[in-house]
Amino acid sequence: MAEKTDTRVHRPHIPSPARRRVNRLGRGGFQAATIAFFTIFAAFPFYWMLIATFKTNQDLYRPLNNPFIFNQPPTLDNLKLLFNETNYTVWIGNSIFIGIVVVLITLLLAVPAAYALARLSGRLGEQLGILMFMVYLIPPTLLFIPMSRVITVLGLRDSIWSLILVYPTFTVPFCTWLLMGFMKSIPADIEEQATVDGYTRFGAVVRVIMPLALPGLLTVVVFSFTLTMHEFIYALAFVSISAQKVISIGVTSELIRGDVYFWQSIMSAGIIVAIPVAIIYNVFLDRFVAGFTLGAVKG
């Protein structure tokens, strides 16, 4: 007996318009919940630092109080302690000055080195770039002792110039490796066309290559500046005078006195610096990510 074959056509199931709307609402709700979760997760430290800045000691340390609201009227005494009884403004000025000088030194050394390594043909350029990046991976805990000897011989101990001398040793290698990958993403034909139009090699680099490499340069600026702002080991080892300290060690060394922690003033010192840095990151986020991704993919 011949077997019967199923001649029915199997049509794909097409959900109804109402079902599609429900699916879209479900996906939208999940996305909104995910965004809300990560937004709260990222913003909570800022909220905690801000509210702790204006809390009194009784409000902060009493276990029965709600830690997320003001249980007592806020106070400005913590800000007065920070600005009147410490060199907080001096630390900020030192940190900004060191950051600017280190960024300039990093750009001055990393840009020509990255360009030369990117245009160096063969595997030699890649191997030199990897070797330079490996220098950045050496932890400061292994270097601050010999570096301390160098700083002492040069007579720079307890001076911000000791940090200006040391910080480029870890900003230049990484920034060179990062810019090398970005320079490789810029076709050499553009540079050759500029030389045909009458530019010298230096003029072609300045007039053509540098504008195209702006996202990478911005990445170097942001990375170098923030790295010098939160560096701790070298600043702690080389500087002990209060007027020469940077914010990373000034806050921790002078607002923690023995077993007494001035938590509210520490939080206020953090929020004052954190908010401008967060704004800068958000304003230049697109170019910062573009510079990092291009350098990572092409490097």
Q: What would the 3-class secondary structure string for 10-37 be?
A: CCCCCCCHHHHHHHHHHHHHHHHHHHHH
Residues of the chain with pLDDT under 50: 1-2, 295-299
Q: What is the structure's pLDDT at 197?
A: 77
- List the chain domain ranges: 79-298
Rounded-to-integer distance, Cα 289 and Cα 38, Å: 19
Q: What is the structure's pLDDT at 203?
A: 82
pLDDT per position as a tens digit, 43-88: 898 899 999 999 998 888 888 888 888 988 999 999 999 999 889 9
Rounded-to-integer distance, Cα 180 and Cα 44, Å: 37
Rounded-to-integer distance, Cα 44 and Cα 122, Å: 49
The CATH number of the domain covering residues in 79-298: 1.10.3720.10
Start-to-end Cα distance in the chain: 70
The closest of 155, 136, 158, 143 to 249, measured between CA atoms, is: 158
